[in-house]
Amino acid sequence: MVARRGTLRNLEAKCANSLHPLCEPSGLLCVQKSVRVLLLLTVASFAAWSQSPPLSFDVASIRASEPGSPTAIFHTEPGFFSTHNVTLRACIEWAYDLKPVQLTGPAWLKDSRFDIIARSDDHGADDDKLRLMLQTLLADRFGMKVHRERKEQQVYSFVVAKNGPKFHPQGAKDASKFLESAAEGQSRFKDEKGGAIGEHVSMEETADKISELLDRRVIDRTGLKGRYDFRLDLTPYMAEAEGKADIMSTLFAGFNEQLGLKLEPGKEMVDLLVIDTVNKTPTEN
């Protein structure tokens, strides 16, 4: 029920010449207050009715991964989400679409691994909806509560260096290479003695990988949109590298001199997700 202004004015006009008890000053005031309260209740009821419940999976199973499993598998398809031997931290990062350095939480998140199988009756649910469903699952089963912050942090911009990028096959100068991927394939990074390798990777994925190594946000600003195969030949720099800081400077030098890419330090505001509470063990299936 919604009262219109005209109705209230008509009531006031009629009451001006009426002797009805409601039309006494005190009675009219009471009517006005009642109408206003009714309006507020109507608006509040509509707001509560119009709020959609959070998206959630219709069926979900969570189990601790078997220790010693050699591989981690992460899979999504419309209406379906699954992990095998994936850390709880990685699940949270995916659910909230975060880079690793944007999440602040307990250290054990990197060690606790879970197998998750979750399905939605919405068979067309894309990754955006699945992320929201996973957020609900984490809150319901792990009791996770979070809040967001925005802070200035040290960052690196991943950019094309002067006279770069330096595309070349392996063996042109050393054991390095930098080429556009010739065929479709799964993106991956791997280390080998004296080298660091990326296969079928984007520059954004490469920036994220460097971010993991540096524990600092790295933002892709190369402008390179394809997928690439590269190998850094680190042997020329290893003799002088001692400790993490030297290894990082070695990596910087390799990217710059061999691939024509570089990392520029700076400061920027970074959006963070802070975990207030999260349980190590999920509730039972």
Quick: pLDDT tens for 196-228.
899 999 999 999 999 988 888 999 999 999 999
Examine the domain organization and report whether 43 and 63 are in the same domain: no
Mean per-residue pLDDT of the chain? 84
Residues 89 and 127 in one domain: yes
Distances (CA, A) of 184 to 26, 173, 225, 278: 81, 27, 15, 39
Q: So what's the pLDDT on residue 2?
A: 41
Residues 159 and 258 in one domain: yes
Residue 70 and residue 43 share a domain: no
The pLDDT value given to residue 47: 47
* Token pair belonging to 116: 């998750």
pLDDT band at 93 (very low <50, low <70, confident <90, very high): very high
* Residue 131, token pair as written in the block: 């992320």
How does pLDDT run across 233-274, given as a tens digit for each residue?
Answer: 888 777 665 555 566 777 888 899 999 999 999 999 999 999
Is residue 160 within 8 Å of residue 222, measured between CB atoms? yes
The CA distance from 250 to 236, in Å, is 9
User: Is residue 171 located within the same domain as residue 136?
Assistant: no
Domain final residue pick, 142, 172, 207: 142
Strands 228-233 and 195-201: antiparallel
Q: Within a domain: residue 147?
A: no
260 and 163 together in one domain: yes
DSSP 207-251: HHHHHHHHTSEEEE-S---S-EEEEEE-HHHHTT--HHHHHHHHH
Report the pLDDT value the prediction gives residue 111, as an integer from 0 to 100: 94
Range of the domain at 106: 59-142
Q: How far apart are CA 109 and CA 128, in angstroms?
A: 23
240 and 164, same domain (yes or no) = yes
At residue 48 the predicted structure's pLDDT band, cuts being 50, 70 and 90, is very low
Number of domains making up the chain: 3
- 37 plus 91 within the same structural domain: no
